[in-house]
Amino acid sequence: MSATTESGLPIEPVYGPEALDGWDPDTKLGEPGAYPFTRGVYPNMYTGRPWTMRQYAGFGTAAESNRRYHQLVEAGTGGLSVAFDLPTQMGFDSDAALVKGEVGKVGVAIDSIEDMRTLFDGIPLDQVSTSMTINAPAALLLLLYELVGAEQGVAGDKLTGTIQNDVLKEYIARGTYIFPPAASLRLVSDIFAYCRRELPRWNMISISGYHMAEAGANPAQEVAFTLANAKEYVRAALSAGLEVDEFAPRLSFFFVSRTSFLEEVAKFRAARRIWAQMMRDEFGAKNPKSQMLRFHTQTAGVQLTAQQPEVNLVRVAVQAMAAVLGGTQSLHTNAYDEAIALPTEKAARLALRTQQVLAHETDITRTVDPFAGSYAVESMTDDLEEAARDLMRQVDDLGGAVAAIERGFQKQEIERSAYAVAQEIDHGDRVVVGVNRYNSDGEEPYEPLRVDPELEAQQIERLARVRESRSAADVERCLGALRDAAAGKANVMDPMREALAARATVGEVCDALRETWGVYQPPSTL
């Protein structure tokens, strides 16, 4: 059925220069689904089906999070996105003295295959796509997911999803690193090779600008530093003996979407163009899929306010529309109460409904790249592209992303940008509704979701039962094989999988790698 407006007029699936009399046909746009992919990575984009609607969720124990996942699936989400607690992100078990009080607070606690099995109980892994926001221990969580899939009878070539696995941005903006950069890149390239062999449909990395943006990076910095990191990962994979067209089609990206609507649309279009040119001309990628910048988007948590939290529903809707009009492949919409606490069930459902309204009640999915040809957006796309390329050249001049990280370049640039924005807000030059203008007295009280502190003790008890019921000798044998692989040049994924199958814990596996590779100590900035 052809699309029409409310007035009964036709909506074309794709508009081009010929749609307007006198329009200059000599443009850099190209066609949707074709190099340089400015207009989108697929010819029909959302006219065939909408983007994947993900909701980022995870809190307390695996059983608590599993209940939320079932609620989201029943509400119509097309993909799950797992938030892990801080101990899991840092590679510690829940009973480690260092993490007391943090278990289950900002995500779900995963200590062993028992927890992963509980997390996805009743969730058919051959029917859902799962994104896991995990970096330094990404290999472990991926392997646990694969093991649970095997228990469900789902072969590796049927599993679909993404691990973030972008540790370079941790050194720049977020801080949940474990190993030194060289060892981290070794682990990333081992994951690439393993996924090529065992999990061919899995996106083996989600190279993230989101966290840099949350730390204060402006749109040009977000694109530049993300693609500079991506270049480092490509080089690491090539150095490990992989061919570019073997792994590049499974690379994916993760960006923020802010309320600066037009610039965000331009940002996504510019990023696709830079990536396509870089992969084709610099790395010799011949497969068009290697040149496609496919990305997930999350609305900007840093722009949400604890004051008048319901206003965040408006912010999220604007941010989500910018992501869709910019051509995202999947989207998470933040809940309106996330500036206060973990989202309540109602808030998470409203966040998903925001995407569903955009997909089904607006006409923005009926034509590809609606802003193509806009004087403002095309000019902003060109300007943002050039600004991002200039920053990338500065990173290259310093010796690449890792060398620039060691010099503190990206971190300093982001901090400078964050400080400028904070000054604008403090001085009233940048309006934040409900914070520095349009304040309200006597706001209605809000009851946030609270994680039961007893859950930590219960998680530690479960972990103790795992240790008591397994074969300690088998675990130590497997961990020894992992240490040997890490000390040599063998792919560490295979012995790591054996250790996890033997019910070694996340902390034990990470400790084995810490003993071999060491722990990263950031340089002093004083």
Cα-trace Rg, the chain:
23
pLDDT tens, 144-161? 999 999 999 999 999 999
- One-letter amino acid identity for 281? D
What are the extents of the domains in the chain?
A: 44-427, 454-517
Nearest by Cα to 303 from 379, 214, 230, 229: 214
Categorise residue 367: left if φ over 0, alpha if ψ from -120 to 50, beta otherwise.
beta
- Residues 6+ away with beta carbon under 8 Å from 353: none
Looking at the chain, the whole-number percentage of residues with pLDDT higher than 70 is 96
Rounded to whole angstroms, the Cα distance separating 228 from 333 reads 26
Taking the CA of residue 334 as centre, how many other CA atoms within 13 Å lie in the half-sphere pointing to its CB? 31
The predicted-structure confidence for 479-510, as pLDDT tens digits, reads as follows 999 999 999 999 999 999 999 999 999 999 99
**What was the pLDDT predicted at 260?**
97
**Residue 317 scores a pLDDT above 80:** yes
Between CA 187 and CA 189 the distance in angstroms is 5
Helices (H) and strands (E) counted in the chain, each on its own, are 20, 9
Instruction: Output b/e per residue, 442-466; b: 16+ Cβ within 10 A.
Output: eeeeeeebebeeebbebbbebbeeb
Alpha carbon distances (Å) from 337 to 237, 334, 345: 40, 8, 11
Q: Which of 104-108, 248-252, 288-292, 293-297 has the lowest mean pLDDT?
A: 104-108
Q: In the predicted model, is pLDDT for residue 23 greater than 60?
A: no
Classified as helix, coil or strand, 340 is: coil
Distance CA 5, CA 513 (A): 59
The alpha carbon of residue 396 and the mean position of all alpha carbons in its chain are separated, in whole angstroms, by: 24
Question: Per-residue pLDDT for 326 more than 80?
Answer: yes
Cis peptide before 36 (omega within 30 of 0): yes
Predicted local distance difference test score (pLDDT) of residue 526: 42
Instruction: Using DSSP, state whether 56 is helix, strand or coil.
Output: strand
To the nearest whole number, what is the mean pLDDT of the chain?
92
- pLDDT-based confidence at residue 449 (cuts at 50, 70, 90): low
Report whether pLDDT(314) > 80.
Answer: yes
Where does the pLDDT of residue 21 fall: very low under 50, low under 70, confident under 90, or very high at 90 and above? Answer: low
Q: How far apart are CA 347 and CA 350, in angstroms?
A: 5
What class, spelled out in words, does domain 44-427 have in CATH? alpha beta
Residue-wise DSSP of 387-424: HHHHHHHHHHHTTSHHHHHHHTHHHHHHHHHHHHHHHH
**C-beta separation of 233 from 193 below 8 A:** no
* Nearest residue to 47 via CA among 90, 86, 11: 11
